[in-house]
Amino acid sequence: MYKGWPMIDLREKDRKAICALAASIFPKGAEIWAYGSRVKGTNHDTSDLDLVVRFPEQQSRAEGFSQLADFIEALRDSNIPIIVQVMAWHGIPEHFKTNIQSCYQVLWPVGSDDHG
């Protein structure tokens, strides 16, 4: 995690809504990382929010993808006014994982330890 950017540029009520959805769908041990312009501080008001879900190692990929689909649908049905792009960590190419690990913030669960 890059320590120089302490916050994700996201309205507090939208952060809370995303975290509430995550808590209702994902198991204990899962994490959601934010990356991209809203973490780097290069975003504008209508920039999307880029998220990646890291599932517990013992969880099956099929179960993770099912939960991911539920989360994406819940986000689309929410009143969050920006586009939220979500991917599963285990579905990302290694070179892109390195890019994300260079600058991310843990969005959920709140207070999660740094794993990067």
- Could you please state the CATH topology (level 3) that the domain comprising 12-108 is classified under: Beta Polymerase; domain 2 (3.30.460)
Percent of the chain with pLDDT over 70: 89
Tally Cβ neighbours within 10 Å of residue 25.
18
Instruction: Work out the percent of the chain whose per-residue pLDDT is above 90.
Output: 85
Segment 61-86 shows an average pLDDT of: 96
What is the reported pTM?
0.88
Closest by CA position to 51, among listed 12, 13, 22, 11: 22
- Which position has the token pair 């209702």? 24
Domain definitions of the chain by residue range = 12-108
In this structure, what token pair is assigned to residue 28? 């204990």
Q: What is the pLDDT of residues 87-113, one digit of tens each?
A: 999 999 999 999 999 999 999 996 554
pLDDT, one tens digit per residue, over 60-70 is 999 999 999 99
